[in-house]
Amino acid sequence: MIGHLRCCMQWEDEGVILALDRFGERQFIASCFGREHGIRRGLLRQAGRHGRPYQLADLVTISWRARHEDRLGTFTMEPKRHAPLAMFSDRKVLAMVQSSISLIRGFCGESEAHRGLFDGLDALLLAADQQSLWRSVYLRFELLLLADIGYAMDLNKCAVTGSYDDLLYVSPRTGRAVSASGAFGYEHRMLPLTPGLKDPKNVDDDAMLIDALQVTGHFLEKAAGDLVAPKFLHARNDLTKLLHGDAS
């Protein structure tokens, strides 16, 4: 009779909604980024006929249930914090949120816990409604993502000489800082160590963010060489285009 027993998997978490795709008239396939369970998909039932019950970037408590761990499962959600209001009035903030969510979907495997990255995304969504803050927090998010996927940048000491002074460049191969003397003769091959990368908290305008994102973008494109993640850079490209428009 053991063959007739049903195995049931269930867990609870807090997460950010990454995607909602309609499934039938009253249901959605939801994708969530949970602090403890990473990216998971599940069926989300809707009580009413019209509109979506939740939206992109909402922070929710999640209850997930399925007969087996590898099945789609069913979500039950309760709201914790709504998506940033600035998403609906500021195109750059919307693009920034879409970029961060798209990067997570591209570089984080399903069911993999990324607790530090979750906390980084949560901090970014909290900062999104503060015009003077979101740019620096977004840059820190990209640096955190790079570290999480094995491309941590070490910008405090020259990789060649060991010096802590006169750091002007970033090695495009290792992501480590290089001093003026350490890069001598190879300056044209180096990436710039921008003021924003030296201290992200000072990034308070589009131009400073653009300069820093050109460097982090090099390593994101390098990491995306697995032919799966590149499409998830499109939203980030849209963000940089918007930033360039205002900075020019």
Task: Report the C-alpha gap between 114 and 15 in whole angstroms.
Answer: 11
Task: Report the C-alpha gap between 208 and 211 in whole angstroms.
Answer: 5
pLDDT in tens, 207-223: 999 999 999 999 999 99
**Residue 3 confidence (pLDDT):** 42
**Residue 1 confidence (pLDDT):** 38
Longest dimension (CA), the chain: 76
**Residue 228 confidence (pLDDT):** 61
**Is residue 38 within a helix (H) or strand (E), and if so which, with residue range?**
strand 38-45
Length of the chain in residues, anyone? 248
Residue for token digits 């003026």? 180
Q: If you classify domain 2-81 with CATH, what class do you get?
A: mainly beta
- The percent of residues above 70 in pLDDT, for the chain, comes to 90
Residue for token digits 């990789």? 159
**Residue 99 confidence (pLDDT):** 98
The domain ranges of the chain are: 2-81, 85-155+193-247
pLDDT confidence tier of residue 51, bands split at 50, 70 and 90: low
Phi, psi at 72, each rounded to 5°: -60, -45
* CATH placement of domain 85-155+193-247: 1.20.1440
The token pair at 14 is 């807090």
pLDDT at 162 over 50: yes
Task: Report the C-alpha gap between 44 and 64 in whole angstroms.
Answer: 10
pTM of the model: 0.91
Q: Which of 53-62, 82-91, 208-217 is predicted with the least confidence, judged by mean pLDDT?
A: 53-62
Q: What is the mean pLDDT of residues 174-194?
A: 98
Asked whether the beta carbons of 84 and 128 are under 8 A apart, the reply is yes
Is it true that 2-81 and 85-155+193-247 share their CATH fold? Answer: no
The average confidence (pLDDT) of the chain is: 91
